[in-house]
């Protein structure tokens, strides 16, 4: 992200300087416009973050109720029968299986602050089953391919941002995000399973006793989950601005050793798949009901589960307040860079060159920078998305605004995720992991362009 940020600034200044030198019109002052654009963008970033405080507090308060009510454990039990079949090399009772299940469950609910400790713990346990240390196993590659496909049913962060920017239907991206993330996840799984046949691991350098590692790991899972949470809170080069990384603590959540019957999991999966075409067909009519339905649904779930909903909601709302304030530096940095790029004329030149090539395929040139930056930088992509939706010409409810919202909700910061998870266990040979993850990203972009074009063009 350091190089990307520097490149944006340098390109903006260089473009404005060249225009200033070549200009023969005394009224045209590109460098002055550049300076004013930088200051205006910095102020807009702070205003945007402050406007986001209330909406983030609302959504994180509701998610805290779901978390306290054990919804993660319920999802984990639903996923377990499917996970056992997807990861045949991992013993069903091994701690790695439980950590992966909880990671996916947290991602499904959009709880990135909970998903990271579970993900790091899963990688640590998978490494205990690794017969060739330093090289990614098939299970690791598949786990990260699914992780980077951004499997999510509720993109609360993006919905909150859209609401703060005055969107008439902030939850209108729910059907498009579901559609794109479904295809991305399928592509990630399929590509990981296919590519593992061609990227063979080296000969084993140690023997593994799954029963022994399972027994040892199970006894220390709760103790080391806290350690994984501390590791996840360490500063990184490109933290996701919407993740609660500053106060990230692993939750005291039961790791289920048994799942629901397979037929229950299949029925739930089919139900989710059935929802997608319904939301596509009736998305415009359903959208106004989504946010009130979420509020009532999560509160009712909390009451049924015996959760003190008011106290827990307030606790989660405090986290939402902190998250909204913490993203100010990220937004200032990126929006200033993008604002300078726009005022310098470099962004307009890029749009003019690329637009005729991508627009016929449903990808406007305005959205292309965000699509290209998303796998590299969560903060960068988030800032560009916010800038696009702040611009009156491409507000949150235009085709471009809905497309970038869908891209943000259905894709992941692939290189960051791989760097953090592989770095936690010292993996140097990633084998086919990156190829599978980027395949999922590419499919997510194609699916997002297709569904947004179908519904909103």
429 backbone dihedrals φ, ψ, rounded to 5°: -105, 110
Q: What is the mean pLDDT of the chain?
A: 79
First to last CA, the chain: 33
What is the per-residue pLDDT for 226?
43
Positions in the chain whose pLDDT score sits under 50:
214-239, 244-251
- Separation of alpha carbons 415 and 377, rounded Å: 8
Say if 22 falls within a structural domain: no
What is the three-class DSSP state of 434?
Answer: helix
Q: For the chain, how many structural domains are there in total?
A: 1
Say if 178 falls within a structural domain: yes
Say if 23 falls within a structural domain: no
Say if 221 falls within a structural domain: yes
- Separation of alpha carbons 135 and 143, rounded Å: 14
- Is this model's pTM higher than 0.85 or not? no
Q: Which residue carries 């809905």 as its tokens?
A: 402
The H or E element containing residue 223 is helix 210-232
Dihedral sign for Cα atoms in the order 200, 206, 207, 208? negative
Q: Write out the DSSP string of 54-85.
A: HHHHHHHHHHHHHHHTTHHHHHHHHHHHHHHH
What is the per-residue pLDDT for 256?
61
What is the three-class DSSP state of 236?
Answer: coil
Q: How many C-beta neighbours within 10 Å does residue 154 have? A: 22
Dihedral sign for Cα atoms in the order 332, 333, 336, 341? negative
Give the structural domain span for 37: 2-16+29-456
Helices (H), 248-367: 262-304, 309-326, 328-344, 346-358
- Separation of alpha carbons 339 and 384, rounded Å: 10
Say if 24 falls within a structural domain: no
| DSSP β-bridge partners for residue 63 | none
Say if 54 falls within a structural domain: yes
């Amino acid at each position: 992200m350091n190089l990307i940020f520097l490149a944006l600034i340098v390109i903006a200044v260089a473009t404005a300087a060249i225009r200033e030198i070549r200009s023969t019109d005394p009224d045209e002052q590109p460098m002055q416009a550049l300076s004013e654009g930088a200051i205006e963008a910095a102020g807009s970033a702070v205003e945007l973050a402050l406007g986001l405080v209330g909406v983030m507090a609302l959504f994180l308060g509701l998610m805290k109720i779901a978390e306290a009510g054990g919804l993660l454990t319920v999802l984990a039990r639903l996923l377990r029968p499917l996970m056992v079949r997807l990861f045949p090399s991992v013993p069903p009772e091994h701690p790695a299986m439980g950590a992966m299940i909880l990671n996916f469950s947290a991602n499904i609910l959009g709880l990135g602050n909970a998903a990271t400790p579970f993900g790091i713990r899963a990688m640590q346990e998978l490494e205990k089953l690794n017969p060739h240390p330093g090289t990614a196993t098939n299970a690791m590659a598949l786990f990260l391919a699914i992780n980077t496909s951004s499997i999510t049913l509720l993109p609360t962060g993006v919905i909150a941002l859209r609401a703060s920017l005055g969107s008439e239907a902030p939850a209108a991206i729910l059907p498009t995000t579901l559609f794109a993330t479904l295809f991305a996840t399928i592509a990630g799984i399929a590509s990981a399973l296919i590519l593992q046949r061609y990227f063979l691991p080296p000969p084993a350098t140690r023997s593994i006793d799954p029963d022994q590692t399972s027994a040892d790991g199970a006894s220390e899972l709760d103790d080391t989950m806290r350690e994984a949470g501390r590791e996840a809170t360490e500063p990184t080069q490109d933290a996701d601005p919407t993740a609660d990384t500053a106060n990230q603590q692993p939750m005291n959540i039961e790791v289920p050793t048994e799942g629901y019957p397979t037929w229950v999991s299949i029925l739930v999966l089919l139900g989710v798949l059935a929802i997608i075409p319904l939301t596509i067909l009736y998305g415009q009519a359903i959208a106004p009901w989504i946010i009130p339905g979420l509020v009532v649904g999560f509160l009712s779930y909390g009451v049924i589960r015996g959760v003190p909903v008011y106290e827990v909601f307030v606790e989660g709302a405090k986290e939402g307040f902190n998250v909204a304030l913490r993203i100010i530096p990220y937004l200032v940095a990126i929006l200033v860079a993008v604002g300078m790029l726009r005022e310098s004329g470099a962004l307009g030149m890029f749009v003019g060159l690329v637009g005729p090539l991508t627009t016929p395929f449903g990808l406007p040139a305005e959205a292309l920078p965000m699509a290209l930056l998303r796998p590299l930088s969560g903060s960068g992509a988030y800032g560009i998305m916010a800038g696009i939706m702040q611009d009156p010409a491409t507000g949150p409810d235009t085709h471009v605004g809905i497309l970038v919202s869908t891209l943000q909700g259905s894709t992941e910061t692939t290189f960051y995720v791989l760097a953090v998870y592989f770095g936690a266990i010292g993996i140097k040979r990633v084998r086919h992991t990156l190829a599978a993850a980027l395949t999922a990203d590419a499919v997510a972009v194609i699916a997002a362009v297709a569904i947004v074009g179908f519904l909103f063009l």
